[in-house]
Amino acid sequence: MKTIKHIKELQEHLSFARKTGKSIGLIPTMGALHEGHLSLIKAAARDNDFLVVTIFVNPTQFNNKEDLKRYPRNFDSDLTILSDYPVDIVFTPSEAEMYPSEEKRQFDLSPIDTVMEGKFRSGHFAGVAEIVSKLFEISTPDNAYFGLKDFQQLAIIRKMAKILNMNFNIIGCPIIREKNGLAMSSRNQLLTGEQQAAAPLIYKTLLKSKELKNSLSLSEISAFVKEQIDRHPLMQLEYFEIVDDVSLMPVTSWESPANKIGCIAVQLDEIRLIDNIYFD
């Protein structure tokens, strides 16, 4: 496993790998690795000959500067974890390396960047599209891997890649959960003991809402989720939406033929957690 900080050096190694007939799998991360990230690496290892994991906390996707400051950074332990996996390169660029000048690239991601996360995190998806497009252009992988916990982000990345006519596979991998059901996230490392005890309520509520599908309307399900979350003293519901898993637009009735996914964001004190569940 080789750690590389510069784009040119990364591209030299990738060029050699391609010349020797190796397929390239890319796993973009912001570090603070957990089992969810490792599941992406395992999937990539099954499909590819040469694996690149990126670790870069991208400042342009944080609309809240305090959130950026709080984001966990465990670089040394990340490298230790990765050393046990078939990773060929860990790409760890600096901010200056990724943004040597003012970034001007923009993408028309409407309408999927205006709903759910887009309502509450202004500029977030522009920053995601910006950095992921750069990583795609730098590495030109055969396959790129992302977790389905960030369901809307995956839809954004797929749309961005289509706009740029990028012809490789963007693969969504299942949510990995803690034993208590909480979706694994780097932000979970920031939770206090009290917050960790409260957090499983999110997934429990999603599971219960799915159980109630046949007896409640869409609006009643939404009201149920809001009541369950907001009655907890540490939690506040930011949004819960049941949407079409392709268009991300709200579903108007259970009779709709769309694949329905419930997406949720919860503020747990100062920590923001997201999750989702399919209703079909």
Which amino acids are annotated catalytic? Answer: 37
Vertex 31, ends 30 and 36: CA angle to 5°?
A: 95
Query: Structure tokens of 118?
Result: 């887009």
What is the b/e burial string over 171-191, where b = at least 16 CB atoms within 10 angstroms of the residue's CB?
Answer: ebbebbbbeeebbbbbbbebb
| Cα–Cα distance, 141 to 166 (Å, whole number) | 10
Q: Which residue type sits at 164?
A: L
Query: In a 10 Å sphere around its CB, with 0-12 CB exposed, 13-18 middle and 19+ buried, how is residue 199 labelled?
Result: buried
Residue among 8, 16, 123, 17 at smallest CA distance from 61: 123
Query: Structure tokens of 270?
Result: 């100062």
| Cα–Cα distance, 276 to 175 (Å, whole number) | 9
